[in-house]
Amino acid sequence: PKNPLSVPRNRAEGKVLEPVGVFEAPKQHGKYETGQLFLHSVFGYRGIVLFPWQARLYDRDVASPVTEKSENAAGHGSKEVKGKTHTYYQVLIDARDCPHISQRSQTEAVTFLANHDDSRALYAIPGLDYVSHEDILPYSSTDQVPIQHELFERFLMYDQTKVPPFVARDTLCAWQEKNHPWLELSDVHRETTENIRVTVIPFYMGMRVVLDNPSSVQWRYCIRLENLDSEVVQLRERHWRIFSLSGTLETVRGRGVVGREPVLSKEQPAFQYSSHVSLQASSGHMWGTFRFERPDGSHFDVRIPPFSLESNKDEKTPPSGLHW
C-alpha cells in the first residue's frame, strides 16, 4: 500500500502535519529521473532531482586489507582504495524547508567563480544540493508546483503524460552543459573512525585572479559528518594538512568547522558543510582529523580521508554567473 507523506507545518496553535504526497518504493537498481520528488532521508527536506552525476566512490571502510601501504605521496599512511561507480543527484531544496535544516546542512553550499570585471568573484546558488542515491525517499504529488524554489519553473515544466510529471526545460539542459566544469561531481571519499563517518566531495572551481596577487587555483569541498552510534558526540576541532604540487605542506588547525561545533546525536546524526581551499599549483591533496568530545569529556580523533585536488584540464569558458 502507498503511504501518505506529511511534513510539519507551523501554526499559531502548534505544529500540524500537512499532506504533501504519496511515498513510492525506493529504487534498488537504476537511477531516478529528472523531476523525481523526494524527501532527504537524513535531513528531511523536500526536494526534486534536476539530473544525476556518476561519481567514483572511494570507500576506505571497504578497502582491501591486503595492500597496506606504508606511506603515500602525501606522506600519509594509506590503504589502496579502488573507486566504484555511485550515483549522486543535483537537486533543488524546497525553500520552505531551508530554515528547518540550516542548523544541520548549509543551504547555500554550492558556490562558483564567475567573471566580474577583471577578477573572478565567488557566488553561491541558494537551495542547491548534491544527494547520494541511498538518501532519496521518492514520492509523488498531484501538485503542479510541489517545490518552492526560484529556479523550479525556470528549469522544469509540468507534463501530466510523463512519469514523473516534471520534465526538463531547455534552460536546464543548457545550464548543465554550460556549467558542468564547476558543478560536476566526480570523486567521493569516505572513511569511518569510531562510528563517525566522514564523506568528502571535492569540486574544482577554476583559476582565481585577484589584482596585484599571484593567481590561485580554487576548489570547494563538501563534508558530511555522520554519527552511526547512539552516543552523543560534539565536534570540537579540525586539523588539516594541505599538500600542494608546488611542494608546500600547510597545516591548518582551528575550533569547529564554519564557526560551528555541531553535536551529533541519535535524533540528529549528521552535519554537512562546505568550504574552500586555494593553491598556487594546479593540483595537490588534503587530509587530516576532526577531534570529537564525548559526554564524559574525553576526546577522540576521526580521520578525514585523503583526497586529491585536481584541476580540469579541459576547462572551457568559465561560468558566467546566473545567466541562463
At 79, the amino acid letter reads: K
User: 238 near 254, Cβ under 8 Å?
Assistant: yes
In whole numbers, what is the pLDDT of the chain averaged over residues? 87
Examine the pLDDT at 323 and tell me if it is beyond 60.
Answer: no
The pairing of beta strand 14-23 with beta strand 136-140: antiparallel
Residue-range domain boundaries for the chain: 19-62+84-184, 190-314
pLDDT of residue 112: 87
**Helix residue ranges, H only, the chain:** 98-101, 152-155, 170-183
Peptide bond into 138 cis (omega under 30): no
pTM: 0.87
User: What does the pLDDT look like over 20-55, one tens digit per residue?
Assistant: 789 999 999 899 999 999 999 999 999 999 999 999
pLDDT of residue 294: 97
Single out the residue of 223, 219, 224, 258 nearest to residue 112, CA to CA. Answer: 219
Residue 270 pairs with which residues in a beta bridge? Answer: 226
User: What does the pLDDT look like over 216-259, one tens digit per residue?
Assistant: 899 999 999 999 999 999 999 999 999 999 899 999 999 999 99
Q: Which three cell numbers stand for residue 45?
A: 527536506
pLDDT of residue 324: 36
At 138, the amino acid letter reads: P
3 state SS of 307: strand
Examine the pLDDT at 65 and tell me if it is beyond 80.
Answer: no
CATH homologous superfamily for 190-314?
A: ApaG domain (2.60.40.1470)
Q: What percent of the chain has pLDDT over 90?
A: 69
User: What does the pLDDT look like over 263-315, one tens digit per residue?
Assistant: 999 999 999 999 999 999 999 999 999 999 999 999 999 999 999 999 875 55
User: What does the pLDDT look like over 188-197, one tens digit per residue?
Assistant: 999 999 999 9
pLDDT of residue 319: 47
Residue 125 pairs with which residues in a beta bridge? Answer: 110
pLDDT of residue 320: 43
pLDDT of residue 197: 98
**How far are the Cα atoms of 62, 199, 243, 265 from residue 191, in angstroms, in the given order?**
9, 7, 20, 19
